Homo-oligomer: A and B are copies of this chain.
């Protein structure tokens, strides 16, 4: 029986609750779409009732103490085994992800996103085993010792539509950060790729079972209504929520969760401004237009780091650059959008930009079916126009769309920067000419405080999984600019509480805080010195 047949023999797909795939309790169902045809896929998924959520919460509560006393080695072994199983099933997973999202198999899913997901899992397993992430801080004189540890409640993950693998609620950075720090996880699949999520959750359950972790450490539901969502994130058994998705939905969940005292990590919106300084544009505006287009159209413009706003000066090189941009944006789309919702939002964004007075220089239209497609779209407006209404012109929209802000001079460029909301990234393209260096010195300090990651001569779409990476930024880019959702082990800290031990004798301390370094590799801050030695 092949995958397709197996999925279809079950009337409504089961949810992963309490260590088993079981029939959901539901009163409604939904189906995913094939974005290339615009048609529904045959499998039917449940919109769970509260009783499913209640069971997930109750079970996660039982897993809290069990996971907290599970050794990092055991958790790491689980993560690595899960990565092995995913690798062994790569083709099935990629095929399903392609079917549900229309993201190209090559190079996107097979050569980029899948390896990224596996790499992230393996890095997390290594960091979990090494234990340095917990930042053991020891005052030997006062016998006070602290480290990060689990939160004491479940972590609920809402994952986005645009990365069905590397940000999937059951296999992405949020998931692995929460479990590596010893917290049980309740995952909400994105309704755009429920089948992909189910395939991966099956392997996850196998890995949980084989590695002897509590089976309720990870549970997965496909969907539930908004009211139940608010109730879930404010439940006393929940400690934290990670949400990546639309600003509107995110803010409502944020309010409900925070009102109940929960940690809420949200990635909400970002236009990722790119500033092109005049010196550089004089040197090579043509290449740069192509580079921008490549970044902007990556994944059909459905990256949270998509450059959605570009700013440059209205001089000869700038006007030339704008013509080059117009040229590269005047080409047919190479891919599909993820869903009808993305398409509708993009249409609305185009209308809103037009109404607000931006000039449409390329694209702007839905392409006739089948499938969800939209022309690459370029808008332009003056700096003065932008500054009249900065909120509207910096509204995030998925799709190959960017807004060019053509400013009169460097001073106006800095004003535009000052009018920006918090963003994940901000890029400055510049040469080493005196002119650019001078503008850089004025622009950078403003941009620095508005963004999480500041780039030079580089597009923002690549987000390397490095300990030095920061994927976060001031509100509304995220809810807390001190935390990152990408980069191991920094991303772990979102799901950690600081555990202090005061006057606790050696034999009752966790291994990380005893005199002997538990593995000889863990870094600890002992009396003000970072060391891997015993003390």
Would B499 and A454 count as touching, CB distance under 8 A? yes
A416-465: which have CB < 8 Å to B?
Answer: 425, 440, 444-446, 448-450, 452-458, 464
Would A482 and B452 count as touching, CB distance under 8 A? no
Distance A498 CA – B469 CA, assembled complex (angstroms)? 10
Q: A261-B476, A500-B468 are in contact. Are A530 and B528 (CB under 8 A)?
A: no
Q: A457-B503, A472-B498 are in contact. Are A139 and B508 (CB under 8 A)?
A: no
Distance A268 CA – B385 CA, assembled complex (angstroms)? 46
Q: A474-B497, A498-B483 are in contact. Are A468 and B137 (CB under 8 A)?
A: yes
Would B497 and A454 count as touching, CB distance under 8 A? no
Give chain B residues whose Cβ lies under 8 Å from the Cβ of A65: 445-446, 449
Copies of this chain, how many? 2
Would B464 and A263 count as touching, CB distance under 8 A? no
Binds B, one of A105-113, A251-259, A287-295: A251-259
Distance A504 CA – B426 CA, assembled complex (angstroms)? 12
A354 to chain B, nearest CB (A): 27
Would A456 and B259 count as touching, CB distance under 8 A? no
A241 at the interface (CB under 8 A from B): no
Q: Which of B152, B501, B505 contacts A450 (CB 8 A)?
A: B152
Binds B, one of A96-104, A140-148, A314-322: A140-148
A470 at the interface (CB under 8 A from B): yes
Distance A258 CA – B260 CA, assembled complex (angstroms)? 12
Give chain B residues whose Cβ lies under 8 Å from the Cβ of A69: 445
CB nearest neighbor in B for A152: B449
Give chain B residues whose Cβ lies under 8 Å from the Cβ of A191: none
Contact surface of A with B, Cβ cutoff 8 Å: 64-65, 68-69, 137-139, 142, 144-146, 148-152, 239, 254-255, 258-259, 261-263, 425, 440, 444-446, 448-450, 452-458, 464, 466-470, 472-476, 479-484, 490, 493, 496-505, 508, 523, 525, 528-531
- What are 20 A-to-B residue pairs whose CB atoms are below 8 Å? A64-B449, A65-B446, A65-B449, A68-B448, A137-B467, A139-B464, A139-B466, A146-B468, A146-B469, A152-B481, A255-B258, A255-B259, A448-B499, A449-B497, A452-B500, A454-B500, A454-B502, A467-B528, A468-B500, A481-B497
Nearest first, the 5 closest Cβ-Cβ pairs linking A and B are A152-B449, A530-B530, A261-B475, A470-B500, A481-B497
